[in-house]
Structure 1
Amino acid sequence: MANVTLGGAPVETIGELPKVGSKAPNFKLTDTDLKDHNLSGFEGSRLVLNIFPSVDTGTCAQSVRTFNEKASQLENTKVLCISKDLPFAMARFCGAEGLDNVISLSDYKTGQFGKDYGLVFSNGTFETLLSRCVVVIDSDGTVLYTEQVSEIADEPDYASALSSLS
């Protein structure tokens, strides 16, 4: 279980992120067109999983904007923005912002992604939502980098995440 803070107050997750060097757990997530996607559907591409509680918060929205900007510069890499937001909220946000370099996916149906990746909040105001994390996966499904952001209101370390792809 990871210990992080929300506005300085301690909160916990149900587990730990996958270990660097391990195979990434499979997932089933829903896109803004309500189509399901799993890890094997991205086989051959490197992935940056930008995971967050809700796109309707300032820091989460900024992480989607920042990764959208960076994604266009990445070779053979897809950026997946993942939350428990309904796909309609992600479509509204990305459409209004003109963000088309990221793929918005939701864990709203079962919450299994958050459980398998060990990043669901187990207590606190955001209980059952996904904590702010970045997981980078190589084209063969190997985890290259993980970050559990220690204060939920803080942005992830974009430079370190992206440099893991070098």
Structure 2
Amino acid sequence: MANVTFQQEPVTLVGNEVKVGDTAPNITVLSNDLKEVTLDDYQGKIKLIAAVPSVDTGVCAEETKRFNEEADQLDNVQVLTISMDLPFAQARWCAAEGVNNLDTLSDHRDASFGENYGVLMKENRLLARAIFVLDSENKVTYVEYVPEVTTHPNYDAAIEAAKNAK
């Protein structure tokens, strides 16, 4: 598993580490209107998935806003930001921040995404910061488990990977 820290303290990631070349594990998360969402809902699209601890924190907010800006310029790419935040909180935050070019999804109910992608932090039941790019057939083409959860991912590499995915 990836070595990850949260506020400089090591954390235990629950689940299986996802690697480039893997078929992406399916997930069941909740949309902001409480509907179940799986990868099938984005069939035929390239997916850039950003796992964040909470959209309502500094780095997560900046990251989500950055990907929201980039999403409008990506062809056939759906950007998903997944956190353990409640769907109501995600919807309220997106409305307040003008985030409408990506989907925020909640993993709070089952931790399906967290466990299937190896980003669920055992110590605090939040998601570690990570980026996954899946091609239109759900093959993993890019993975970044951010070593320190409170720092930013490599935006340029993730966006480039999404542009290059088929």
Short-chain TM bin: over 0.9
TM-score (norm 1): 0.94
Unaligned runs of 5+ in 2: none
Q: AA paired with 2:144?
A: E
Match of 2:80 in 1: 80
Kindly tell me: are residues 51 and 60 of structure 1, through their superposed partners in 2, closer, same or farther at Cα, counting changes over 3 Å?
A: same
Deviations 1:116-165, CA, capped at 9 Å, x for gaps = 11111123xxx211100000000011001000011111111010011113
Q: Does the residue aligned with 2:121 lie in a helix, a strand or coil?
A: coil
Large movers: runs of 4+ above 6 Å: none
Unmatched tracts of structure 1, length 5 or more: none
- Structure 1 equivalent of residue 118 of structure 2: 118
Q: Read off the aligned partner of 1:39 and give its amino acid letter.
A: L
Q: Does the alignment pair 1:26 with 2:26?
A: yes
- Following superposition, the deviation at residue 16 of structure 1 comes to 4.3
Match of 2:143 among 142, 146, 159: 146
Q: Which amino acid aligns with 1:120?
A: L
- Structure 1 residue 130 and structure 2 residue 127: aligned? yes
Could you tell me which amino acid in structure 2 is paired with residue 5 of structure 1? T
Q: Deviations over 1:90-116 (max 9, x none)?
A: 101100011110101001111122111
Q: Does the aligned pair in 2 maintain the 1:64–1:81 contact within 8 Å?
A: yes
Judge conservation of contact 1:2–1:16 (CA < 8 Å) in 2. no
d(CA) in 2 for partners of 1:110 and 1:8?
Answer: 27
Per-residue CA deviations over 1:52-85 (Å, capped at 9, x if unaligned) read: 1111211111111000000000000000010010
Report how many residues are paired: 163
Aligned mates of 1:139, 1:160 — CA distance in 2:
18
1:105 is paired with a residue whose SS is strand
Query: Identity of paired residues, percent?
Result: 44
CA contact (8 A) 1:7 1:153 kept: yes
1:2–1:14: 8 Å Cα contact kept in structure 2? no
Aligned to 1:35: 35
Q: How does 1:56-67 map to 2 (within 5 A)?
A: 56-67=56-67
Q: In the TM superposition, what is the alpha-carbon distance from 1:7 to its structure 2 partner?
A: 2.2
Compute the TM-score of the two structures, normalised by the length of structure 2: 0.94
